Amino acid sequence: MIPYISNQCKDIEKSSKGRVRARFMPLVMVKRTTATGAAAAIAAYASASGFAGGTVTEEKDLLPQEDINKLYEPRTYAFDLYNDTYKFRVLTMELGAMYPVQVELDPGIADGLGDNLEGYEDMMGMAKGIWIQNDKELSEFIEMLATSSAKLKHVLRRLASGE
């Protein structure tokens, strides 16, 4: 799946003579919490006076190897188009070790595709969304995006023109 979409990225760059670049990569989520006002003052006091919290117990693994279960945890990947000035997120995919794959399209693309998305939605009684079941469906889905999405075609033209 990842090699297929990575090849699609190369094809976009080649067909646009390098004016439009594409990337398919995992998203890195950063969680930030900041305290302000009275909460910040209380946190600073608690930290300085040793009342910063309870005991945290962590497992210490005696084996140096990485846990293989991490390979099966789903990760969110993004497919972006960009040039030197602009970027556009076409879709995100929740990828695990195997199918099905959940896809979230740019809302404008999804709205424009309308009935073309029928058959990809709410499969297997899962949560609402777009679901890809196998390599063949992935290929058909990407082809459908490329040929049927007016918004995607417009964005590609704008990125290629350098606007």
Which pLDDT does position 48 carry in this prediction? 58
What distance in Å separates the CA atoms of residue 71 and residue 47, rounded to the nearest whole number?
37
- The half-sphere exposure of 4 on its side-chain side, counting CA atoms within 13 A, is 11
What distance in Å separates the CA atoms of residue 22 and residue 13, rounded to the nearest whole number?
7
Q: Which residues pair with 64 in a beta bridge?
A: none
Per-residue HEC secondary structure of the chain comes to CHHHHHHHHHHHHHHCCCCCEEEEEECCCCCCCCCCHHHHHHHHHHHHCCCCCCCCCCCCCCCCCCCHHHHHCCEEEEEEEECCCCEEEEEEEEECCCCCEEEEECHHHHHHHHHHHCCCECHHHCCCCEEECCHHHHHHHHHHHHHHCHHHHHHHHHHHHCC
pTM of the model: 0.72
Which pLDDT does position 121 carry in this prediction? 65
Which pLDDT does position 44 carry in this prediction? 62
Model confidence over 146-156: pLDDT tens digits?
Answer: 999 999 999 99
Which pLDDT does position 34 carry in this prediction? 62
Model confidence over 108-125: pLDDT tens digits?
Answer: 998 888 888 877 765 544
- Mind listing the pLDDT tens digit of every residue in the chain (163 residues)? 888 899 999 999 999 999 999 999 999 876 666 666 666 666 666 555 555 556 666 777 778 888 888 878 889 999 999 999 999 999 999 988 888 889 999 999 988 888 888 777 655 444 557 889 999 999 999 999 999 999 999 999 999 998 6
Which pLDDT does position 114 carry in this prediction? 82
Q: Which of 139, 140, 160 is nearest to 7 (CA)?
A: 139
What distance in Å separates the CA atoms of residue 15 and residue 9, rounded to the nearest whole number?
10
What distance in Å separates the CA atoms of residue 128 and residue 120, rounded to the nearest whole number?
10
Which pLDDT does position 128 carry in this prediction? 58
